């Protein structure tokens, strides 16, 4: 059983979670001290055995816990805050339970990803979660560049210690007027949501460095940005044959560090046929491979 815990405000704990904390035979917690602190704030006594279950030991403990499930025990897995498996321990035990055909279910609840997304005011019909922005500068820039043409709303986690460098990287990669949101300390007393653009949010971080846990929400690339990503003599309106599409995509990979899949998607989108249909991406990929082999 996975149990979502409050991300800040203990009043967000579900009645189901409170009951499970009291009745589960085993509670596997990312941090046992934080588990007991939460239980105290909720006024509930943890009734079962408590074990540490975190990033460093989950591969070793998952099967042991599932052995207990197989013997009939109710095992509750909780992280420090939010939903287990979402940038927190839990995925290993879920996968092993599926492999072993053991029952697994979830007591849903708070999630910083969904909270920030809902408060952002940005499109929510399609979004992707990228977890924490990479620590290393070169990896950070590479990851962000790979998302330059992502059309879905993108959600990231970040720490206050790295937010300045991260916003510098966002300003380097993304258009300055791309809508963006910084949410911090969600559900807590000092909750704050800054809604602006990439450029203005970077300046905001410089002027007033945010504290606490941070979620960044970035609007996806617009059609205008997609067209601008592909240079063209006719403002993106020229119809290209498969070979020329392949050359354009290959050029994007070489000059801008695009992944082949992203480069092909952008190029094909920017050069529709006269009837509005698009070239087959597999055909463009095959032509691109052939082109690279010739080089």
| Phi and psi angles of residue 118, each rounded to the nearest 5 degrees, phi first | -65, -35
Residue 5: pLDDT over 60: yes
Q: Left, alpha or beta for 218 (phi > 0: left; psi -120 to 50: alpha)?
A: beta
**What pTM did the predictor assign?**
0.76
Domain 112-218, CATH number (from 2.60.40.3500, 3.40.1010.10, 3.30.950.10, 1.10.150.120): 3.30.950.10
Residue in this structure with the two tokens 């009291």, named with its chain if needed: 22
Evaluate if residue 234 carries a pLDDT over 60: no
Q: What is the DSSP letter of 239?
A: P
* DSSP label of 240: P
DSSP string, 251-263: HHHHHH---HHHH
β-bridge partners, 82: 5
Q: Would you list the domain boundaries of the chain?
A: 2-107, 112-218, 228-294
Mean pLDDT across the chain: 91
Distances (CA, A) of 7 to 11, 53, 187: 10, 18, 7
Residue 19's pLDDT is 96
pLDDT for residue 186: 96
Residue 236's pLDDT band (boundaries 50, 70, 90)? very low
User: Is residue 276 over pLDDT 70?
Assistant: no
Higher-pLDDT residue of 202, 236? 202
Output the six-digit token pair for 67: 């052995």
Structure confidence at residue 229 (pLDDT): 66
**Beta pairing, strands 127-132 & 192-197:** unpaired
pLDDT at 213 over 80: yes
CATH 3.40.1010.10 fits 2-107, yes or no: yes
* DSSP secondary structure string for all residues of 13-78: --HHHHHHHHH-SEEEES-HHHHHHHHHHHT----SEEEE--TTTHHHHHHHHHHHHHTT--EEEE
Question: Rg of the Cα trace of the chain?
Answer: 23
| Average of per-residue pLDDT across 223-248 | 72
d(CA 174, CA 156) in angstroms, rounded, equals 15
pLDDT digits (tens, 9 = 90+) for 45-94: 999 999 999 999 999 999 999 999 999 999 999 999 999 999 889 999 99
pLDDT, one tens digit per residue, over 152-175 is 999 999 999 999 999 999 999 999
């Amino acid at each position: 059983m996975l149990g979502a815990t409050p991300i800040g405000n203990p009043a967000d704990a579900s009645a189901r979670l409170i009951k499970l904390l009291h009745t589960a035979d085993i509670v596997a917690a990312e941090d046992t001290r934080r588990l007991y602190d939460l239980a105290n704030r909720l006024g509930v006594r943890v009734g079962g055995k408590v074990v540490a279950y975190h990033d460093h030991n989950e591969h070793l403990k998952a099967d042991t816990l599932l052995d207990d499930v197989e013997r009939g025990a109710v095992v509750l897995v909780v992280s420090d805050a939010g939903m287990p498996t979402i940038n927190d321990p839990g995925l290993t035990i879920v996968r092993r339970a599926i492999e072993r055909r053991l029952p697994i279910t979830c007591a849903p609840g708070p999630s910083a990803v969904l909270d920030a997304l809902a408060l952002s005011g940005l499109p929510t019909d399609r979004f992707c979660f990228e977890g924490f922005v990479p620590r290393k500068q070169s990896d950070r820039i590479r990851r962000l560049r790979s998302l330059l043409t992502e059309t879905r709303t993108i959600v990231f986690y970040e720490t206050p210690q790295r937010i300045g460098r991260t916003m510098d990287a966002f300003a380097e990669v993304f258009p300055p007027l791309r809508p963006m949101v910084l949410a911090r300390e969600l559900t807590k007393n000092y909750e704050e949501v800054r809604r602006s653009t990439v450029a203005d949010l970077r300046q905001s971080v410089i002027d007033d460095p945010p504290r606490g846990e941070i979620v960044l929400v970035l609007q996806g690339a617009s059609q205008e940005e997609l067209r601008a990503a592909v240079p063209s003599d006719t403002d993106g309106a020229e119809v290209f044959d498969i070979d020329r599409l392949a050359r354009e995509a290959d050029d994007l990979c070489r000059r801008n560090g695009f992944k082949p899949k992203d480069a092909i998607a952008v190029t094909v989108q920017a050069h529709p046929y006269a009837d509005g249909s698009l070239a087959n991406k597999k055909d463009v990929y095959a032509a691109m491979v052939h082109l690279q082999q010739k080089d």
